[in-house]
Amino acid sequence: MRANLKIPICLSLVLLVHTLAVAQNHTDAEGEFERAVAQYTMSFQRLMQSRGVSVDHPQKRRRVAAGETQQEISEAFLVRGAPPLSEYVNTTSLPDIATALRRGFPLGTALIFYAYSEESLQIWLINQTGLQAYSSERVPQRNLESAIYELRRSLGIDSLQTNRAPSLRDTVLVPLDLGLQLPAERAIADVTGMLLPAPIAKELNSVRHLIVAPILGLGTVPFAVLRPFNSELFLIDRMSISVVPSLFDIEGSIKGWTPTYRNPLVIGNPYLPPDRKWRVPPLPGAEAEAVTISRMINARALTGRRATKRRVTARASEADFLYFATHGVASSDDPLSGGFLFLSARSLGRGFWTAREVQGMKLKAQIAVLSACQTGLGKIQDAGVIGLSRAFQIAGVPRVVMSLWSVSDAATAALMKSFVKYLRGHMPSEALRLAMLDVRRERPALSQWASFVLFGTPR
């Protein structure tokens, strides 16, 4: 009889030890999360200060626009992309995040948060019930940067940008790297292993809407093409993907998506006068793209010489839907003044709508679609990327569809037509996922369907 009791007692002890180990791991992960958030907060403050947004006084968190009262400045900031730091700096915790996900997001939403310290990449997967998985592995930053570079190179992105992106005439175009190039499958596997390692990957099966809170250069990674499921399935096959501007935006509140277009503004192929400083490749399909999109939402597109900077900026403040099919430029050296959309003007330079100008506006659009090259790029800092997409967020637009590289007119037009169609019945992150799947069936090359991402949250 006593011998028979030994087996259940041993099993009970094993289960108890396992339970205690899991509890200890969760406790360790929570402690590491709090430490990482403290470091992230300092990085985020530096990021916002570099954008001209003050974090010292609640009423002065952004530069004062002409004619604004202090009350208007404070109220405007609270509904813009940059969160009120004073509310979140000391309160964001794992339970806070889980509660925010449960209360403000659709069922199946999860957050993946990254932190980097002492050559260790830490990753937390948090869903609506709490912490689901945690990983901490040594990943030298040069290895991480190299893996991201090799992934983009394996997709042929460099050649696309060389052929299609605007460039300064006095800039010597660097020839393509003709060194040994990794096959796309290998490059995808390498980045997947770093950013979605086994402890994280095995918990992704129940996720339907993934929010990525990136650091360093992770915001330039096409998460849609990662393969964490030990199969041929891409991440986008199983879930929508959103890149959140910052960790703190999870606890912010925005209005849910409503597919109404009472006052849309659609821009396509502005007239760009010849310029001795810039080489600007033509966009023969951009005008047709804009016209098609405008017809789908019962609007009239501004194209050619009608798409002037003066006219666009005058109408943008009242628009509830913004759509730009034009060229864009990102700058890692001067992201606010050197990052801009091309609009029409008497001279090319006068038509540049810079990130600095955008973030100083009051915009009320539900979404901005930047169907232009490189609009998701900019200057990489510890807590994210400074560029056009974040500028629209700060100006008040909670959702921005942006590109990570240049894509052909035909592929972009197909994707955007499908995307706008799905917006009628789906929130933007899911609409973009479905559009990607549509285009992939006709254009299986990864570079043709995976370049766009939603900058915002799935709601």
Query: Rounded to the nearest 10 degrees, how much is the dihedral formed by the CA atoms of 451, 445, 342, 271?
Result: -150
Q: Give the rounded percent of residues in the chain with a pLDDT score beyond 90.
A: 56
Structure tokens at 275: 């310029």
Evaluate the CA torsion angle 409, 289, 455, 47 in order and state its sign: positive
Kindly report the average pLDDT of the chain as a whole number. Answer: 82
| 114-123, 375-384, 402-411: which is most confident | 114-123
* pLDDT of the residue at 34: 87
What CA–CA distance (Å, rounded) separates 389 from 89? 23
As to burial, measured by CB atoms within 10 angstroms (0-12 exposed, 13-18 middle, 19+ buried), residue 205 is: exposed
pLDDT band at 140, cuts 50/70/90? very high
Which pLDDT score is estimated for 387? Answer: 77
Question: What is the structure's pLDDT at 162?
Answer: 52
Q: How confident is the model at residue 251 (pLDDT cuts 50, 70, 90)?
A: confident
Number of H helices, E strands in the chain: 16, 18
- For domain 264-455, the question of CATH label 3.40.50.1460 is answered with yes
Instruction: Dump pLDDT digits (tens) for 257-313.
Output: 999 899 999 999 999 999 999 888 878 789 999 999 999 999 999 999 999 999 999
- Counting every residue, how long is the chain? 459
Cβ atoms of 427 and 398 closer than 8 Å? no
Q: Residue 257 and residue 399: Cα distance in Å, rounded?
A: 9
Q: pLDDT band at 433, cuts 50/70/90?
A: very high
Q: In this structure, what is the dihedral angle of CA atoms 233, 223, 409, 150, given to the nearest 10 degrees?
A: -100
Mean pLDDT for the stretch of residues 92-113: 93
Question: How much is the pLDDT for 386?
Answer: 64
* pLDDT of 415 higher than 70: yes
* pTM, to two decimals: 0.85
Q: What is the pLDDT of residues 38-87, one digit of tens each?
A: 887 877 776 666 555 555 433 333 333 434 443 343 333 333 444 444 44
How far apart are the C-alpha atoms of 52 and 388, rounded to whole Å?
14
pLDDT at 57: 38
Report the pLDDT value the prediction gives residue 434, as an integer from 0 to 100. 98
The pLDDT tens digits for 145-165 are: 999 999 988 988 766 555 567
Give CA–CA dist 80/254, Å, rounded: 9
Furthest CA-CA distance within the chain: 96
Domains in the chain: boundaries: 264-455
pLDDT score, position 345: 95
pLDDT digits (tens, 9 = 90+) for 322-376: 999 998 887 777 788 888 999 999 999 999 999 999 999 999 999 999 987 655 4
Residues 171-180: contacts with CB under 8 Å, at least 24 apart: 177/153
- In 3D space, the residue among 287, 289, 328 whose CA is nearest the CA of residue 307 turns out to be 287
